[in-house]
Chain A
Amino acid sequence: MLLIHCPYCDETLPEAEFTYAGQAHVVRPADPSGESDADWEAFLFLRDNAKGPHFERWRHLHGCGRFFNAVRDTVSDRFLTTYEAGLPRPDLSTLTEDQP
C-alpha cells in the first residue's frame, strides 16, 4: 500500500484513505465559448500520459476531505511531493524520491 502525505492533515497516511482525482493543473478557460474546438477538446479530454513524474490531484476522502496536488513517479509509483491545491507547480529538479 502507498503511503501518502496529506498537506492539510500534515500526516503520512495509508492510500486506503485517499482517492485519485485526475491530472492536476488543468485550468478551465475563462471564456469557453471563445475557445476553438481543438482547444476545448484538449481541455475536456486530452491528458498527459507521463512516464516519470506526473502532476496529479488526490483527495483525502476518508479524512479531511480536501483535494490536493501530488507529484508521483509513474515508473516507481513513489510520491515525490504533495502540496496544497492552488499552489504553483513545484520545480521538479528540487524533488527527490526521499521526500514524504
Chain B
Amino acid sequence: MNAPVSALTPGPLVETDVVRVSLEAPRGRLSLRARGELAPFDVALGLTLPRKIGQRAAGDGIEALCLGPDEWMIHAPEAQVGALLSACATLYERHPHSLVDVSGRETTYVVDGPGALDLLSVGCPRDLDRILPGEGRRTVFDGVTVILWRDGETTARLDVWHSFAPYLSELLETGSRELAADAAAAR
C-alpha cells in the first residue's frame, strides 16, 4: 500500500467512458502565511492574492488559492520557485510572513470527464456544485485532506500529501470503474 514517492509515475491512472484520472508531473508549490497588509505580496508575486477563502488568482504561470484567512497555496513552475522565494524574502523585515517551498510534499491528480463530480462525491461530503468552476477549497476526501481546484464544469485537480497518494489512487480507480459499470448498466 505505502509505495515510495518514486513509485508515483506521472501519467494516466484510469480511463473509462465517464471519467479520466491522471497523475500530474511534479510542479512547484509554495505555502504562504501572511497577515495584515497584502499589497506588497501582490507586487512580489506578480498577482493579486485572493482575499476570500476559496477564490483563486492567476498570473504569469503561477496561480494562488486562498485556503484560510491568512493562508494561500501557490502553484508555480519549478523554475520560478527560487525567484518567488527571494522576491518575498526582501519583504520579510517590514512584513513578517512564512513562505515555504512544499513542492516535495504533494502530488496532484487530475479528474476529468462527465463523471468527474460523481467520482469526487465518492469521497468528498461537500456539495460540490457550490464550488464553482474557477474556485477551489481545502476539503476532505475519505478522511484525507485534499486541496480541490475546480478548473471547469467537469475538470478538477486534487492535491494530496504523498503518503496518502497510493490510497487515493486506489480509491479513484475503484470509483471510476464503478461509475463506468453504472453507466454501462444504465444504457
Q: How large is the interface on A (under 10, 10 to 19, 20 to 34, 35 or more residues)?
A: 10 to 19
Question: Once the chains are docked, how many angstroms separate the CA of A10 from the CA of B71?
Answer: 16
Residues in chain A near residue B54, CB distance under 8 A: 9
Pairwise interchain contact A64-B125, C-beta atoms closer than 8 A: no
Pairwise interchain contact B138-A64, C-beta atoms closer than 8 A: yes
Pairwise interchain contact B71-A65, C-beta atoms closer than 8 A: yes
Question: B162 to chain A: closest CB distance in Å?
Answer: 17
Pairwise interchain contact A62-B138, C-beta atoms closer than 8 A: yes
Total residue contacts A-B, CB cutoff 8 A: 38
Residues in chain A near residue B140, CB distance under 8 A: 16-17, 62
Question: A38 to chain B: closest CB distance in Å?
Answer: 38
- Residues of B contacting A: mostly: strand
Q: Select from chain B the residue with minimum beta-carbon distance to A6.
A: B53
Question: A11 to chain B: closest CB distance in Å?
Answer: 8
Question: Once the chains are docked, how many angstroms separate the CA of A48 from the CA of B11?
Answer: 54
Q: Select from chain B the residue with minimum beta-carbon distance to A17.
A: B140
Question: B70 to chain A: closest CB distance in Å?
Answer: 9
| Residue tally, chain B, CB below 8 Å to A | 14
Q: With A9-B53, A64-B53 in contact, is A16–B68 under 8 Å at CB?
A: no
Pairwise interchain contact B137-A63, C-beta atoms closer than 8 A: yes
Q: With A8-B53, A9-B53, A17-B139 in contact, is A66–B68 under 8 Å at CB?
A: yes
Instruction: Find A62's partner among B53, B69, B139 (CB 8 Å cutoff).
Output: B139
- Residues of A contacting B: mostly: loop
Residues in chain A near residue B126, CB distance under 8 A: 13-14, 17
Q: Select from chain B the residue with minimum beta-carbon distance to A18.
A: B140
Pairwise interchain contact A8-B139, C-beta atoms closer than 8 A: no
Residues in chain A near residue B71, CB distance under 8 A: 64-65
B16 within 8 A of A: no
Interface residues of B in 118-132 (CB under 8 A from A): 125-126, 130
Question: Once the chains are docked, how many angstroms separate the CA of A63 from the CA of B68?
Answer: 7
Question: Once the chains are docked, how many angstroms separate the CA of A14 from the CA of B145?
Answer: 14
Q: Would you list the 3 A-B pairs with minimal beta carbon distance, nearest first? A: A62-B140, A64-B68, A14-B125
A-B contact pairs, 18 of them (CB 8 A): A8-B68, A8-B69, A9-B53, A9-B54, A11-B130, A14-B125, A17-B126, A17-B140, A62-B140, A63-B138, A64-B67, A64-B68, A64-B69, A64-B138, A65-B68, A65-B71, A65-B138, A66-B68
